[in-house]
Amino acid sequence: MVIIKSINMKHFIPAIVVILFLTSCKQKQETQQIITTPKTPKNIILLIGDGTGLSQVSASQYFNPNPSNFDRFPVVGLIKTSATDKLITDSAAGATAFASGVKSYNGAIGMDKDTISVPTIVEEIAGRGIKSGVIATSSINHATPASFYAHAKSRGMYDEIAAFLPTSNIDFFAGGGLKFFNQREDGRNLLTELEQNGFQVDTTALPKNASTLKHAILLAETAMPTILEGRGDFLPNATQLAIDALSTNENGFFLMIEGSQIDWGGHANNADYLISELIDFDKTIGVALDFAKTNGETLVLVTADHETGGFTLGPDGDDYNKIKPSFSTKSHSATMIPVFAYGPNAEDFGGIYENNEIYHKMKSAISKEESTVVSQN
Ligand code: MG
Ligand code: ZN
């Protein structure tokens, strides 16, 4: 006899085959075998390397003094990234596809192609007690992070986008963009509003330890400095702090971390800028993977909104032993983008699919009902 029972998974059940030998209280002995499907993740960490295509990832093999953390992923897929109005996407439409599951027009923040607001994964999971965080090396109201907590017709509406944060479902944020909080056209002081809404606000340095309050961390007027200008370990350290702060939540967390300036190195056709930002992003991936490895119930995803610069790793002249990075455009390109996955449900992210499927796969992973097959002999 086979009984298929569905259990709504609130917490993690190990993906093992459990064999229970049940002794019937009556006359007959029965052997009962319970097979659980692979465990579901309690936490999701999504790392977005803005403008990071396969050549950028490959640069982490050739120019990184350390072993690349990209090598640690067991599953790789590819996404198609076009927007609704353009073959080549921008970061706003790209992030809106990840955050809300809809393809939209270039410039859209949390809105569909008809400028109707669409719920973000952060808003949807907050109702289940799951906490969220966003981290970027751009200003925190720039297109990529904004698409996870705000709704605006245009990515350039920076003051409007920042004003979502005091009352959004974000529990932790770190990046630049201070001036959009305390030097605003409308005269509002969002730092005060953040404190009134339960945030600890830091504007000079990352706090040493996670607080029991929510965290608002704004360490630059606009974008954070570049690595070449001495940003140091802001991104990996902010990631560790966010994990420390959010992982105490018993219902789990969602954390989006953006290596924002890989894209800017591509736009500038500046290989040193691009590669230094990329290596910082690679190091940050290591922080997420180290946590996921010991935690066991965290899905880690790394992908990008699009490629930037038409970056190429060609030879230096005729010297096939020397790579000379070059670029084919100052803009974004249409190449497919790799997706790297580690942890429970990682296997869902293999194959070739559209960028907005990332949202649906994440939602499915974190909402999946654990089905348990009980077979009795
Ligand atoms: Mg971005
Ligand atoms: Zn760009």
Contact 60, 277 (CB under 8 A): no
- DSSP string spanning 235-286? HHHHHHHHHHHHTT-TT-EEEEEEETTHHHHHHTT-HHHHHHHHHHHHHHHH
Name residues with Cβ closer than 5 Å to ligand 1, which is an ion.
Answer: 50, 91, 144, 260
Stretch 26-31: mean pLDDT: 45
Q: Mark residue 246 as left, alpha or beta (left: phi above 0; alpha: psi -120 to 50; beta: remaining).
A: alpha
Q: What is the pLDDT of residues 137-188, one digit of tens each?
A: 999 999 999 999 999 999 999 999 999 999 999 999 999 999 999 999 999 9
Measure the CA–CA gap between 362 and 368, rounded to whole angstroms: 10
What digits encode the pLDDT tens for the residues 185-217? 999 999 999 999 999 999 999 999 999 999 999
Span from the CA of 22 to the centroid of ligand 1 (angstroms):
56
pTM above 0.85, yes or no: yes
Q: Cα of 15 to ligand 1 centre, how many Å? A: 36
What are the angstrom distances between the C-alpha of 147 and each of 75, 109, 198, 341? 26, 5, 22, 22
Q: Which residues pair with 30 in a beta bridge?
A: 22
Tell me: the pLDDT tens digits for 115-125? 999 999 999 99
Out of 60, 68, 91, 276, the active site residue is 91
What's the confidence (pLDDT) of residue 367? 84
Q: Report how far ligand 1's centroid is from the alpha carbon of 305 (Å).
A: 8
pLDDT band for position 39 (cuts 50, 70, 90): confident
Q: Is the pLDDT of residue 29 over 60?
A: no
CA distance 211 to 199: 9
Which numbered ligand comes closest to the C-alpha of 50? 1
Beta-carbon count within 10 A of 15 CB: 14
Told to judge if 91 belongs to the known catalytic residues of this protein, a careful annotator would answer: yes
Find the 259 Cα to ligand 2 centroid distance in Å.
12
Q: How far apart are CA 294 and CA 16, in angstroms?
A: 17
